[in-house]
Amino acid sequence: MKKVIIADKTLVCSESGFSFREKIEIARQLENLKVDVIELPEIIEEKVDTLLVRTVSSFVKNGVISVGAGVSAGSVEKAIKAISGIKNAKIRIEFPVSPVGLEYVCGKKPAKICDYLKECVKECMSAGCNVEFSACDATRADFELLKSLIKTATELGVKEITVSEDSGETLPDAFIEFISALKSEFPEITLGVSASDKNGLANAIAVMAVRAGAGVVKTKATDGFVSLKTFIGTVYACGNTFGISVNAKATELNRIVKQIEKVTDKTEIHAISPVSSESDGINLVESDTIETVANAVTMLGYDLTEEDVKKVYDEFLKVASKKEVGAKELDAIVSTVAMQVPTTYKLISYVINNGNVITTSASVTLEKDGKNLQAVCLGDGPVDAAFKAIDEIIGHHYELDNFSIKSVTEGKGAVGSALVKLRNNGKLYSGSGISTDIIGASIKAYVSAVNKIAYEEE
């Protein structure tokens, strides 16, 4: 029985703009399903994206984390830094190899692309990293060039090669010939496949590619590529006939996919304004009334007093005079001006111990009624450890509804902004924090939300 490796790319090719918390939740569900590889995107915002890699690596025990490195300047170096010290991780060097992709995405001529791949692989290998080469749009590439690229990678020690069918127009029999030709040329490699589902052929292509010698199938929990649910379901239904199996848990498949779909489903808010994909369905303008803004706030999950709604609307008008206001901006406005309360807990200090050979710990000290309260906790990454320490100090764990961080400024001294949304007795409380240290910003945001809950409970 041939064991097929499942590499899920939901977090790479999704265009939904997931928050940090949503990315973590999707990764947790994929780990629960026991997919073999969880693919993460290229490192763009270095602090935030590296934190994502580190956090995911802390709970992924069954599979491998794959971090992308493309053709942007420094992408390989950033990927190497992100996975430094993580044993179950690899770097995925990927770029389009079709004539159009080479010219307009890579900006390189065919004669130069092999040299570029060689440089990337050598940089990864010198850092001791496992490497996969992923040739995007491979079915539309010059076959001789594709073979040269694969040969270049394999001669340097790369054993995993992925070829992608991105047009959605290749029929299964033609793809079988394509895979068979590559396996004939490079019988020693572990060959992976990815396929567009533009015309509903992705699952058939994946199954046939496995029968032709492919050992890895790249899936996606949502639409667009080989369906995670459909492919695993096909293997469990027909695997004995085809002589193939997977590690993923079939008994948990439907439940876990539904959980992922809940996270990935971005419900649009039609009653407010025209939908903007960049604002999670909310697109408010200066001419919108206080009732419209209040409706949007309610749809975000907040239950505000009339006084707080007025404060939010006044701040909204200031922002809307300069730009359109989406869900993220409205969230920030609510966390900044609404439900402002006296400080019950004041952040005094925090110390984070993190590394590749120790479990992350956080020591947090808060002040309440003039007394310093301290707790030390272990966690899955620095943010999780810090939040657990705060929970221990206050003696209560609140449901974390959302957590997001972003860079406000650029450069080495970039300022990070964090938004935390906690739920208590069905009601949503948000807090924001800002710091040159994203961990510090996250802790400040959490304490801010906790103070709002504490004030109402008193």
Query: Mean pLDDT of all residues in the chain?
Result: 87
Q: Report DSSP letters for 373-426, one per residue.
A: EEEEEE-SSHHHHHHHHHHHHHT---EEEEEEEEESS-STT--EEEEEEEEETT
Q: Percentage of residues in the chain with pLDDT exceeding 90?
A: 52
Whole-number Å distance between alpha carbons of 345 and 453: 11
What residues contact 20, with CB distance under 8 A and at least 6 apart?
48, 51, 52, 403, 404, 405
User: In which element (H, E) is residue 368 found?
Assistant: strand 361-368
pLDDT, greater one: 221 or 434:
221
Q: Residues 38-84: pLDDT tens digits?
A: 999 999 888 888 888 998 998 898 899 999 998 877 999 999 999 99
Per DSSP, what are the bridge partners of residue 91? 67, 131
Burial of 423 (0-12, 13-18, 19+ CB in 10 A): middle
Antiparallel, parallel or unpaired: β 361-368 and 346-353: antiparallel
The number of beta carbons lying within 10 Å of the beta carbon of residue 234 is 18
Domain boundaries, the chain: 2-264, 277-337, 346-457
User: What angle do helix axes 143-155 and 110-126 make, rounded to 10 degrees?
Assistant: 20
Q: Residues 266-281: pLDDT tens digits?
A: 433 333 333 333 334 5
**Which fold does the domain 346-457 belong to in CATH?**
Double Stranded RNA Binding Domain (3.30.160)
Q: Residues 287-304: pLDDT tens digits?
A: 889 988 888 887 777 777
pLDDT of amino acid 411: 53
Closest among 199, 190, 193 to 171, alpha carbons compared: 199
Instruction: Taking residues 333-340, report their average pLDDT.
Output: 76
Q: Is 164 left (phi over 0), alpha (psi -120 to 50) or beta?
A: beta
Per-residue pLDDT band at 414 (split at 50, 70, 90) = low
pTM attached to this predicted model: 0.63
**Which fold does the domain 2-264 belong to in CATH?**
TIM Barrel (3.20.20)
Structure tokens belonging to residue 269: 């808010």
Look up residue 421 and give its amino acid: K
HSE-up of residue 26 (Cα within 13 Å, Cβ side): 28
